[in-house]
Amino acid sequence: MVKVSVGVPVYNVAEYLRQCLDSIKQQSFQDFEVIMVDDGSTDNSFEICQEYVFKDKRFKLYHQENKGLAGARNTCLKHMSGEYVTWIDSDDWVEVDYLKNLVTEQIRTQADIVSMGFKIFRNGTYYLVGEDINNKYGEFPNNIIPKEIAIADIFSGEYFLIHMWGNLIDINLYSGFKCSENIMYEDTGNKFKLFLRAKKIVGLPKLNYIYRMRENSIMDKARSTRDFDRIVKSRISVISNIEKLMYYLDISNIKIRKVEEETNKIFNEYLVNDANWTETENIKNKNYILRRKKLINDAINNKMTKG
C-alpha cells in the first residue's frame, strides 16, 4: 500500500496540466500514486495524462463522460489505495515539499486531517492567503483545531479549511463517503462530512499549495457578475448546503453555537439591499432569505433546547 493517493480531477485544462503533474512527479516525498480522472475533456487533456501514465507507473488514468468535479472525485475515490488522500486540482500546482510537509505533520501529530494554507496565482502574480496563518493556527494548543471551529469555518473561511484540496486526510474517513454531485460550491457541501468523522484536525502553518485563479473560471464569473438570477441561484446553493449540514449535525452530538453564528452572518449579508437590483428584486430576495433564516434558526434552537 502506498502512503498517499493523489486525486487529480481533469477537465479541459491542457494549458496548465503539465505544470500540475510535473509538480507532483517532482515531490521530495515519493511514496504516492496519482489517480487522474478525465471528466470528458474536449481538448487534449486526456492525451497529456496518457504521457505521464506511459512514463511513470504511479500515474493511473480513468476516463468518463462529463459528471462535473464532484463526479470526478467520486471516481478517483473508487480507485485509490493509499493510506491517506490529498487532492490537487488540475489547473493548480504544489511546491516540492507539499507532500513531505503534510506527511511529516501527520506522523508527528497522528491527526486524521492535516490542512495547510495556500497561495493564489493570478495574472502572473502570487498572493499570499493567510500569511498570518501561523498565528491563526497558533490560537489552538498544538495547532489542533476543534471540530466545531472546523465545521463553522466552511462558511466563515477564517482558517482556510473549506477546500477539498490542500490537505492530507486519512482514507478511512472516506469510507462510505460520496461527494454530492450537481451542486454549486461542492467543497462547502461535502467537506463537513469529513470533519464530523475526524478525531483530530491539525492546521499546518505552511503555504505549499498554489491555487490558480483563472479569469474564465466558474468562481471568477460568480464573483464578478451582478445578475440577479445568477446571484440568487448561488445563494440558494449556499443555503441548501447549510440545511444539509444542519441535518448531519442533528444526527450527531456536535455543539453548533459557532455554526449558528457563522450562518447568521451569511444571512445578514444576503439581506443587504443591492443597488444594482430593482426594488422588486430586493424584496423577492429579502423574503426568501428571511424564510430560510427562520427555518434554520428554529431548527438550531430546537436542537439546543433538546441538548
Q: Say which CATH topology domain 4-212 has.
A: Spore Coat Polysaccharide Biosynthesis Protein SpsA; Chain A (3.90.550)
How far does Cα 43 stand from its chain's mean position? 25
Q: Are 21 and 101 in contact (CB under 8 A)?
A: no
Cα 12 to its chain centre, rounded Å, is: 20
CB 207 within 8 A of CB 118: yes
Q: Which helix (H) or strand (E) holds 126?
A: strand 125-129
Q: How far is the C-alpha of 56 from the C-alpha of 68, rounded, in Å? A: 27
Residue spans of the domains in the chain: they are 4-212, 225-306
> Is there a contact between 95 and 210 (Cβ–Cβ < 8 Å)?
yes
Q: What is the pTM of this model?
A: 0.86
Q: Rounded to the nearest 10 degrees, how much is the dihedral formed by the CA atoms of 202, 200, 151, 103?
A: 40
Mean pLDDT by 10 residues, the chain (307 residues): 97 97 98 98 98 97 95 97 98 98 98 94 81 79 92 85 95 92 79 93 94 68 64 85 78 69 87 91 92 81 60
Q: Per-residue pLDDT tens for 151-195?
A: 888 888 888 898 999 999 999 999 999 888 877 777 878 899 999
Give the pLDDT of residue 298: 78
- Per-residue confidence (pLDDT) for residue 224, from 0 to 100: 45
Tell me which amino acid residue 91 is: D
Nearest to 84 by CA among 111, 109, 59: 111
Q: For position 221, what pLDDT does the model report?
A: 47
